[in-house]
Structure 1
Amino acid sequence: MILLQETYIKIISRIQNCKENYQKLELELSDEFGYLNMKSLNNSPDVILKLSNEMDMTCTQVAKIILDNYYEKDKNLISTNNKTSNLKQYMKDSTLIDDLDLAHEVFLCQLYDYQYGHINDIIRHCFGQEYEYHLQKIVKEKNLTFQSEDDLRMYGYDKTPDIKLDVPFAVDGFVINWIESKALFGDPEEHQNYLNEQYSSYWNRFGTGLVIYWLGLVDSIIDPGEKRFIVRDDFPKEITLINPFIIADIPENTSKNLVKDSGNSQCDNETNKENTMAEQ
């Protein structure tokens, strides 16, 4: 049973309103959301939660370790890749776990882990999408045409920014070809990870760009010597657009004349040098 996004939101709301009485909360969740075959509440259903507190680890991390050992000798989990894939699926949908007690424990970990739990992943994903839509709205209001991440994936790109501009603009003389939206606070560690995994690839494929950390950033991640992208905590208030009225039609023979004039100029320079030497 994979819970819908609306169900996760309801569960989170119930957790916030019932922080001190976990046993009552478990009963309510069992009745309301249909998770009926969980471990009996008479046998302390929060073993992993208590272990995680003692080990100073998140309960989701402890649950993954226990699941990994539980299925270590499973004949159906032959390759390492297949095993990893199955463990991820078990963490998302604990009803796939054949041991009901362990399934219940994993389910509770997903409920109570506000940092690495599956519910938190869904919330962060929704939060990120909201800021992506916000960015698209701003770009449209500026009358800028662009391709979204989904558009780029249709062309076969594996790593794509949130916005790829059809016509670049400039910010303080820096040309912007793409924009990446991050609905988080930009600290040095997060920034370095994204630099290695995403930003460098964007620069290789699309040129220079802009990264926005909507929730603020540490000033130290703004590197004046960085030539691949610039970092901001909001969309720039002043941007420089290409003015189509200053682009005139170039006559067909203009380039030839330019080459000819350039050649004549070079010959004139050489002649002047020879005359100067003769006078000396």
Structure 2
Amino acid sequence: MMDSVSAVADKPVMQICRAEYRAIGRFVEQLRPTRQCMKTLQTQFPHLPPSTLLSIFSQEYQKRMKRSMGRHHAPDVVKAYYQRYRSEAKTRPTAPLLLELANQVDLSPALLARLIVECFLEEREASVPASRHILNNMLREPYFIPDLLLAKHVEQCTVNDCCYGPLVDCIKHAIGLEHEDLLRDKLRERSLSFLAVDGHIVHWIESKASFGDDHSHRTYLNEQFWSYCNRFGPGLVIYWYGFVSELDCQRDRGILLRDGFPSDIVTLCQGPAQSRV
């Protein structure tokens, strides 16, 4: 099982306290989801790995987008975005119009591109609404869009958005599989079926290629971890890009948190595999 958000870490991941996480959250409120924002984050928080900072930023930015989604999706607002784009495309065709507009209205470039393409298709095919399949194909391969200028602007949004869009989705999926394979290989290397970590028996392992913050961990507890405990017994959750240290407070109830595969393990027995990987 796998959830992923950021790039593979190139050095050990640190756990951070809730107060520091909140400080990072306040700082990223001023940033936009461009790849340049990572340089700013690394300068401000040089003690944290880039992959951890990207995961934290992505999660906080997605929360921000969810809070403002209703405002951006209002029909009159969407229409205004589209009309503004079409107008400026006539006078400044070489400018990164959608990227500029996304920054000005504080909306993900990839999400804005989706709204604009939807409007374009509705305008072009007024009698037959475009299917979601056609829309998704155009976002994945912008040059399917029968307007080369719009295709270029949509591609700019896809390439420059580090939180949303088809490119990010592909990266997330690949990173998720990579960490799942890493965990599986480590277990197979040790021929492990049951093990103990820090004196706690582990019957299942859940791999999360993301940073564990309060919101995501609470969601996982309710939707996954407690169910695993009820069905399989105590287990281990690996947040490969770190987690808020105060969240590791459920050990007595059967959930142990780590930011990497543990080295301090004790094999209890060999037998049919019981771990969830």
Give TM-score scaled by structure 2 length. 0.54
Q: Which amino acid in the other structure matches residue 96 of structure 2?
A: D
2:99 counterpart of 1:49: yes
Aligned partners of 1:65 and 1:226: how far apart in 2?
48
Structure 1 51/197 Cα, relative in aligned 2: closer, same or farther at 3 Å? farther
| Relative contact order higher in (CA < 8 Å, ≥ 6 apart) | 2
Partner of 2:182: 134
- State the Cα distance separating 1:54 from its structure 2 match: 0.8
State how many pairs are aligned. Answer: 182
2:146 counterpart of 1:98: yes
- State the Cα distance separating 1:233 from its structure 2 match: 1.1
Matching residue within 203, 207, 219 for 2:245: 219
Structure 1 68/202 Cα, relative in aligned 2: closer, same or farther at 3 Å? farther
Indicate the structure (1 or 2) with the bigger Cα radius of gyration.
1
Q: Which amino acid in the other structure matches residue 129 of structure 1?
A: L
| 1:118-141 Cα shifts (integer Å, max 9, x gaps) | 333333333333322322222122
Q: Which runs of 5+ in 1 are unaligned?
A: 1-14, 17-38, 145-166, 245-280
Structure 1 204/64 Cα, relative in aligned 2: closer, same or farther at 3 Å? farther
Partner of 1:60: 110
Native 8 Å contact 2:93 2:149 kept in 1: no
Question: What is the Cα-based RMSD across aligned positions, in Å?
Answer: 3.3
Aligned partners of 1:226 and 1:214: how far apart in 2?
22
Structure 1 95/141 Cα, relative in aligned 2: closer, same or farther at 3 Å? same
Partner of 2:163: 115
Aligned partners of 2:252 and 2:109: how far apart in 1?
39
2:191 counterpart of 1:143: yes
Give TM-score scaled by structure 1 length. 0.54
| 1:126-157 Cα shifts (integer Å, max 9, x gaps) | 3333322322222122212xxxxxxxxxxxxx
Aligned partners of 2:135 and 2:200: how far apart in 1?
45
2:261 counterpart of 1:235: yes
Aligned partners of 2:256 and 2:234: how far apart in 1?
8
Partner of 1:174: 200
Aligned partners of 1:95 and 1:117: how far apart in 2?
16
Native 8 Å contact 1:45 1:104 kept in 2: no
How is 1:151-230 mapped onto 2 (pairs within 5 angstroms)? 167-200=193-226, 202-203=228-229, 206-224=232-250, 227-230=253-256
Aligned partners of 1:177 and 1:88: how far apart in 2?
40
What is the SS of the residue equivalent to 2:253?
A: coil
Structure 1 103/236 Cα, relative in aligned 2: closer, same or farther at 3 Å? same
Native 8 Å contact 1:213 1:234 kept in 2: yes
| 1:15-74 Cα shifts (integer Å, max 9, x gaps) | 99xxxxxxxxxxxxxxxxxxxxxx99x722521111011112221121122223334475
What is the SS of the residue equivalent to 2:207?
A: strand
Q: Which runs of 5+ in 2 are unaligned?
A: 1-34, 37-88, 271-277
Aligned partners of 2:252 and 2:154: how far apart in 1?
44
